[in-house]
C-alpha cells in the first residue's frame, strides 16, 4: 500500500487555482474505496445513486439516511485519504433547515465525511447556509437532479434553452452566495458549464456530462466498468468491462461445479492419514 496524504479542502482549492483538474468518483463499498484511494482519486461521492446501483431500486427516492450511513462508513474505512462527500438522500433536507443541519451532521459525526452534497438551486439556499453555518462544507447539485426526475420529465439534459440555462446560472450563483464550496453540474450543456465555471469566484464547479471546462470531472463508478445492468448513460465512458469479466467467471464456476472440475485439491483441506485412521476407529 502506497503512502498518500489526505486530500483536504485546501488542497482542492489549490488545484483549482493552479488549473489542475480534480477527479471525483462515486463509490459505495469498502474494497472499491480502497482501490479508488490507491488510484489517487481526489474525491469520492457516496451517492444516493446507491439505491439503484447497489440496492436495485428504480430510483434514488427510497434511500434512507441509515442506508447512506452504512455505505459511507464502509467507504471511509476503505479510503481514509480521499475527500469524502456524503449525498443527502431524499427528504433528509427538503422538509426544513433544521432537518438539513441534523442529517448533514450525521454524515460528519457518524461516517467521517469531509462534506455533504444536496440537490436544488436558489430554493435550497437557506439549507446550504444553515449547513455551512454549522461548520459543514456543502456541495450543491444542479442540472439533472435525480431526486426531482419526475418533475424534470425524465433523465434528460437540462439547460438546453436559453431561459432554462439562465436559471441554472442564477441558481449556481445563489448556491455560491449561500456558502457552497462546490457545485456539481449534471447533464448541463458544455458552454453553460463554462460560463458558470468562469463566473465562480470561490466555488468548485464539477462536471458530470457537462463538458471539459469545469474544475473537475465526476463519473458514476458502475457506469465506468459495466456494472449497472439496466442502462448506461451516453455521457459515461466505459474504462473496462468488469461486469462481463465477472459474468464469464460466474458462468465458468457454475459449469465447473456441474462437471466436477471444481474443486481441485488446492481448493480444499485434508486430514492426515493417521488422524483419519483413528477417526474411523472411534466411529467403529
Ligand atoms: O447519487 C449520485 O451518485 C449523484 C450523482 C448522480 C451525481 O448524485
Residue burial 126-146, b: 16+ Cβ < 10 Å; e: rest: ebbbbbbeeebbbbbbbbbbb
Residue 109 is predicted with a pLDDT of: 98
For ligand 1, atom 5, which residue shows the shortest CA distance? 47
What is the rounded average pLDDT for all residues in the chain? Answer: 96
Average pLDDT over residues 27-38: 98
Alpha carbon of 46 to ligand 1 centroid (Å):
8
Lowest-pLDDT choice from 78-82, 125-129, 153-157, 180-184: 153-157
pLDDT score of 16 more than 70: yes
- The ranges assigned to domains in the chain are 9-240, 245-283
What global pTM score does this model have? Answer: 0.94
Q: Please, what CATH class does the domain formed by 9-240 belong to?
A: alpha beta
The number of angstroms, rounded, from the C-alpha of 86 to the middle of its chain's C-alpha atoms is 8
pLDDT confidence tier of residue 2, bands split at 50, 70 and 90: low
166-210 confidence digits (pLDDT tens): 999 999 999 999 999 999 999 999 999 999 999 999 999 999 999
Residue 231 is predicted with a pLDDT of: 82
Alpha carbon of 208 to ligand 1 centroid (Å):
9
Inter-residue contact 80 to 41 (CB < 8 Å): no
CA angle 98, 100, 103 (to 5 degrees): 105
Ligand 1 atom nearest the C-alpha of 218 is: 7
131-162 confidence digits (pLDDT tens): 999 999 999 999 999 999 888 888 889 999 99
Catalytic positions are: 186
Average pLDDT over residues 268-274: 98
For ligand 1, atom 2, which residue shows the shortest CA distance? 47
Q: Helix 65-78 vs helix 97-109: angle between axes, to the nearest 10 degrees? A: 30
Query: Which residues surround ligand 1 with Cβ inside 6 Å?
Result: 26, 45, 47-49, 60, 87, 141, 146, 184, 186, 208, 218, 220
Q: What are phi and psi of 149, to 5 degrees?
A: -60, -30
Cell for 188? 448541463
Task: State the DSSP string of 184-251.
Answer: EEES--HHHHHHHHHH-SS-EEEEESS-TTSSEEEE-HHHHTT--SS---TTPPPS--HHHHHHHHHH
pLDDT score of 129 more than 70: yes
pLDDT score of 20 more than 90: yes
Share of the chain above pLDDT 70, in %: 99
For ligand 1, atom 8, which residue shows the shortest CA distance? 47
Q: Which of 24, 44, 48, when mutated, tests ligand 1's pocket best, judged by the most ligand atoms within 8 Å of its CB?
A: 48
Alpha carbon of 75 to ligand 1 centroid (Å):
15
pLDDT confidence tier of residue 1, bands split at 50, 70 and 90: low
Ligand 1 atom nearest the C-alpha of 45 is: 3
209-254 confidence digits (pLDDT tens): 999 999 999 999 999 999 998 888 888 999 999 999 999 999 999 9
Amino acid at each position: 500500500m502506497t503512502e498518500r496524504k489526505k486530500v483536504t479542502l485546501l488542497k482542492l482549492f489549490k488545484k483549482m487555482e493552479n488549473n489542475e483538474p480534480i477527479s471525483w468518483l462515486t463509490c459505495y463499498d469498502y474494497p472499491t474505496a480502497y482501490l479508488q484511494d490507491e488510484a489517487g482519486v481526489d474525491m469520492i461521492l457516496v451517492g444516493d445513486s446507491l439505491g439503484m446501483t447497489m440496492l436495485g431500486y428504480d430510483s434514488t427516492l427510497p434511500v434512507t439516511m441509515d442506508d447512506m450511513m452504512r455505505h459511507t462508513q464502509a467507504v471511509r474505512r476503505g479510503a481514509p485519504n480521499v475527500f469524502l462527500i456524503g449525498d443527502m438522500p431524499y427528504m433528509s433536507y427538503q422538509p426544513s433547515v433544521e432537518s438539513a443541519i441534523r442529517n448533514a451532521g450525521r454524515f460528519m459525526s457518524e461516517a467521517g465525511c469531509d462534506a455533504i452534497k444536496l440537490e436544488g438551486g436558489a430554493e435550497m439556499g437557506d439549507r446550504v447556509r444553515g449547513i455551512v453555518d454549522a461548520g459543514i462544507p456543502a456541495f450543491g447539485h444542479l442540472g439533472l437532479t435525480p431526486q426531482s426526475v419526475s418533475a424534470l420529465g425524465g433523465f434528460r439534459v437540462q439547460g438546453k434553452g436559453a431561459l432554462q440555462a439562465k436559471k441554472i446560472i442564477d441558481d449556481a450563483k445563489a448556491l455560491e452566495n449561500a456558502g457552497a464550496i462546490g457545485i456539481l453540474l449534471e447533464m448541463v450543456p458544455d458552454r453553460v458549464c463554462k460560463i458558470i465555471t468562469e463566473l465562480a469566484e470561490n466555488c468548485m464547479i464539477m462536471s458530470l456530462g457537462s463538458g471539459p471546462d469545469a474544475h473537475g470531472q465526476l463519473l458514476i463508478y458502475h457506469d465506468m466498468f459495466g456494472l449497472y445492468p439496466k442502462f448506461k448513460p451516453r455521457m459515461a465512458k466505459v474504462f473496462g468491462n468488469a461486469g462481463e469479466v465477472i459474468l464469464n467467471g460466474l458462468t465458468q464456476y457454475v459449469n465447473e461445479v456441474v462437471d466436477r472440475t471444481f474443486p481441485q485439491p488446492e481448493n480444499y483441506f485434508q486430514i492426515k492419514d493417521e488422524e483419519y485412521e483413528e477417526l474411523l476407529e472411534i466411529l467403529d
